Amino acid sequence: MSFNWELIKKGAEEGLGALKEGVSVANSSGKILGKEVELTLVQGQVGKIFLRLGSLAYENHSKGGDQFYGNEEVKGLIARVEGQKMRVKEIETEIETIRREERQRATKAEEQLPLSYM
């Protein structure tokens, strides 16, 4: 009985490749999760800003004010909302980029698999 070292070496290399791919996917999933948490935090901040804006609108109305948009705090809050909206778009783009890269890696890994694994 002859021992086939080449077959063992090939199996080990394929196993190592699969392990590296698994680690890569886990890393990508972790990045996506981190971005989704960041997205949730930013959206929560926007909600708090809107609460403050609503409070200011009520205070202005109850005092008979008609210069709501002239209020410096209101202007600042609106600017913060706009900034947070831009950040939300950035985070969503980053998540989509990570997902696209993950799909490309998965496709490449599938193409490299021997037919016996498909």
Q: Any idea what the Cα angle at residue 44 is, between residues 56 and 60, rounded to 5°?
A: 5
What does the block give as tokens for 1? 């009985």
- For tokens 């199996």, what's the residue? 11
Between the CA atoms of 48, 52, 54 and 56, what dihedral angle is there, to the nearest 10 degrees?
180
What does the block give as tokens for 101? 């890269």
CB 99 within 8 A of CB 54: no
Give the model's pLDDT for residue 10.
66
CA 93/CA 83 separation, integer angstroms:
15
pLDDT-above-70 percentage for the chain: 71
Predicted confidence (pLDDT) per residue in 89-106, tens digit: 999 999 999 989 888 887
